[in-house]
Chains A and B, each alone.
Chain A
Amino acid sequence: MNQRAQRTWVLAGIFLFIAIVYIVRLFNVQVLDQGYKMDADNNVLRKVIKYPARGLIYDRKGQLLVYNEAAYDLMVIPSQVEESMDTLEFCALLEMDKVTFIDKITKAKNYSIYKASIFEKEISTKSYAKIQEQLFKYPGFFVQRRTLRTYPERSAPHILGYVGEVSPSIIEGNPYYKSGDHIGISGIEKTYEEVLRGKRGIEIQMVDVFNRTKGKFKDGLFDTAAVSGSDLQLTIDNELQRYGEYLMQNKKGSVVAIEPSTGEILALISMPTYDPNLLVGRARSVNYKQLSIDSLNPLFNRALMAKYPPGSTFKSINALIGLEEEVLTPNTKYSCKLGYRSGRFHMGCHSHQSPVDLEFSIQTSCNAYYSNVFRSIIDKYPTAEEGYEVWHEYVKSFGLGQKTGIDLPNELQGFIPKPEYYDRYYGKGNWGSLTIVSLAIGQGELGFTPMQMANMTATIANRGFYISPHIVKSVSNQQRGVMDSVIQREEVGIAKEHFEHVVEAMHKVVEEGTGRSARIDSLEVCGKTGTVQNPHGDDHSTFIAFAPKDDPKIAISVYVENGYWGSRWAAPIAGLMMEKYLRDTISRPEIEERMVNGNLINPQIVLNEEE
């Protein structure tokens, strides 16, 4: 045999050698070593997601507003479910009928035969206790722990928001989320989602053929711990918030209270309100639907999303602008003969003594005075556009007509027309201060949110600046003001001494003027009433206020829809809330009772709204 042929045998030899080695190895692994068989028995691996505890939410005093309660999802892996399982017994345990059972199994199979899916969401703790013991009879079924939000105080649903399951489009857009995760959908839960959500963990369990957990796979080597979300402390004073919701019951409107020196929001109320516990867990869809078709729009956050004209409360602003523009001094007087007349134009005013100086004009809320003031501001400049532009800039510097940047979603910008707006509407050069004089008394095209009004009030209280309003005080004990550059101090370009005049006048409003119903004996309160024209029904009642006059601790804006006079509903409510906040007592319980019992929601008005 030549050398080449020999080599063929070498090749054959190599082949056979490997084959024999492999056969020996196989013999060892399959026949001799029992370890693998045991591993296989224990080898059904189950991945259990450890959902993190969502961050808790507290009010400024440490009162717990939102916490988590345990809930249990019943999961199923269709491929592991046995044909021979006792469905009747199973259904009895879950209090489910057979048809539903078949539906759910089919749904799970359509999702995936091999992957776990939710068979029954959030079974009650009672069901869980019953089922847990019997689960071994039903291979393929297991329980996964979840948490659900609980609201012990039931207040501030618009601020807190709610949590729901993540939608497919969100999963597509954000790789962190997986099907079944929860995500904040509105309110704080949404804006602080990333802070609150924590981090998912995973536990890999070994389960034997009898569906019993045999322990953790590789002693938990691959497990990752869930990381709880960070806790939030809000600037909200829960007692004040609840008190406001209590006073405002059966009325539509909004109350926003701020601490002027810090921009911290003490209360943010939108009425009618709802119990936040309604939008939790399984019941959420049904309840949400009901709430959303309610014609009074309880889900709608009026504090941030409703635009109202400011009404007479705006006169303070015009006064300040007038003083700064030097078209006005505290002693400037104008006459008012039941209103303001110019040519054929007439703006009405209620009866009061005449002529009127600055302080009295605010005290008694005189329309004629401000028509004059506004016109003189505009007419100071060569064209109405220029004058209006200047006026417009002042108004904006109070944070009006723009978003305050508060850390809640869906804030409206509000509306204050730019000069171009009037140019387009009337034609360039075709309008003047008289055309738009309704702006003098806070009517016309102006539309501001209660949030913006409260911020404006805080600016007056501070005598010329405001701090960006915000609702979260700290995140896991890290002070926001210190670390967050978003919170800034904004100055209005108006001298401090002008503010003092207006503040004094606003004090008179409450002491002797239209805002008497907000008077508190032990405090120096400053305020301004407003009656907002409403083409669809009764006028709205509004009031802005702050107290104490010097070194104010609270600035508040109240809107009561269809409340008519500012002094009738908005002012007393503001007064009561401030007294409660500053003194923790109520000295005029009869007023409190009248407010609480007030019911402005009646069919007549509902009809008007629907027009």
Chain B
Amino acid sequence: MRKNSSAIERMDWMLVALFFVLIVAGWLNIYAAVYNEEFTSIFDTSQRYGKQLLWMGTSVVIATVVMLIDERFFSTFGYLIYGLIVFLLLLVIFIGAETKGATSWFSVGGFKIQPSEFSKFATNLALAKYLSTLNINIKKFKTKLLAFAIICVPAVLILLQNDTGSALIYGSFILVLYREGLSGNILLIGVTAAILFVVTLLLQAEVYQMPFDLALGGASLLIVCITVLLALVYYLQRKQKRIIWLLVVIWTGCFGLIKSVDYVFSEVLEPHQSKRINVLLGLESDPHGAGYNVNQSLIAIGSGGLTGKGYLKGTQTKYDFVPEQSTDFIFCTIGEEWGFLGSTMVIILFMALLLRILFVCMRQRSTFAQIYGYGLAAILFFHFAINIGMTIGLAPVIGIPLPFFSYGGSSLWGFTLLLFIFIKMDADRLEVL
């Protein structure tokens, strides 16, 4: 028992400090985002900022509990917790309440609980536990498959809840797999495919005039370019006969991808999703919907200038121009009221958090804790990148929160758990044999 209480003494103060700085900054910003002159008390629990304070308080309680639990709890019950969460995810599809087209909440006595926020840490636990099993080798197909399954099961269930945004964050686990030995080529291929996809989208609507009175559609032009490129590579490397097969495979892959873009775009993606991608790429202006959000967001952030308009003085925020001000677009308030300096400060804070996590990972003796830490960093990074990117027009509009900043009880609890389990594991790292 003694060693448990001193876990609190041994916890990484930098991570904890960053945690508090972020949630308090977040809270102050929610106040600014929701501010109106009628309710001026920041402690007013009928308003979001008051409620956020409640969530913050309960999060600290949760964090403390986590710190006091026996450190073997998580490694022992990792799979069980995962299973329970998966069950809840399934359940919510059937008896959950629907908000904005997604059936992802339970309504419990006036409070709304979102299982998908908790599945993040549960999946991380299960994946870390699996990948830290003795003699595990990610290069084996079976390992890859199982790891993939652990990640995909919750993701698919969340997709079924119609919450595509939350499902997408599971893609961040690929970084964990990469770190644990998954071939970097997969990452490379993934990135290249994404680039190709985007380029095709950009070009396919255009028609290009070629010499000899030929007119080529954008997609065809792309294929021609790739063919030429690959042919060039072959010519340069023609000494290695085997390379022709590789080139053929690459060519076929590209061709298939380019051709399938249209199909995927119109048949697989929902119309609002394809619209958002189009908006992001500048192919479409959607002034009423997603395009409007981003436009307003950019205006809010852009009008902040170097130093911002001052706390509680953001006009765009005050007049409710930016939708979802206290949740998905919370960064706008920072941008508008604190300007470039403030926004950069926040980015630096997050960077500090992520890098500190990586640093702490490296001193872990337990593989389980280490892998968990990478998962933590990956998940937080993904949220941070997409959420902020969305507000500045560099990422498509997907509804995911900014960790510790966006208003939301489930979200805050989920991230607190995610983070503090790691802090706890780190605090006990010297106990590991």
Contact = CB atoms under 8 A, between A and B. Distances in A.
B178 A7 contact: yes
A141 to B, nearest CB: 16
Interface in A390-406: none
Contacts of B180: 4
B340 A21 contact: no
Given A8-B361, A36-B298, A39-B303, A26 B178 contact: no
A432 to B, nearest CB: 70
A8 B316 contact: no
Interface string A211-250: 0000000100110000000000000000000000000000
A291 interface: no
Given A4-B180, A7-B178, A30-B343, 18 more contacts: A4-B181, A8-B179, A10-B184, A11-B175, A19-B351, A21-B394, A26-B343, A29-B298, A30-B305, A30-B340, A31-B306, A36-B299, A36-B301, A36-B303, A37-B302, A37-B305, A44-B319, A79-B36
A113 B298 contact: no
Most chain A CB within 10 A, of B180, B181, B374, B392, is at B392
Contact of B179 (A4, A33, A113): A4
Given A30-B302, A39-B303, A109 B385 contact: no
A30 B36 contact: no
A222 B385 contact: no
Interface string A1-38: 00111011011101110110111011101110101110
Main secondary structure of the interface of A (DSSP, over half): helix
A222 B299 CA distance: 19
A347 interface: no
17 contacts: A11-B175, A11-B374, A14-B381, A18-B381, A19-B347, A26-B335, A26-B347, A30-B339, A31-B305, A36-B298, A36-B303, A37-B302, A39-B303, A40-B315, A79-B318, A79-B319, A221-B287
Contacts of B344: 23, 26
Interface residues on A, range: 35 or more
Contacts of B197: none
Nearest to A44: B319
Contact of A40 (B288, B303, B339, B389): B303
B38 interface: yes
A27 B181 contact: no
B128 interface: no
B287 A40 contact: no
Interface residues on B, range: 35 or more
Contacts of B392: 22, 25-26, 29
A45 interface: yes
Interface of A: 3-5, 7-8, 10-12, 14-16, 18-19, 21-23, 25-27, 29-31, 33, 35-37, 39-41, 43-45, 79-80, 109, 113-114, 209, 218, 221-222
Contact of B351 (A16, A37, A218): A16
A22 B394 contact: yes
B362 interface: yes
A114 B319 contact: yes
Interface string B333-358: 00100011001100110110011001
Nearest to A29: B302
Contacts of B298: 29, 36
B320 interface: yes
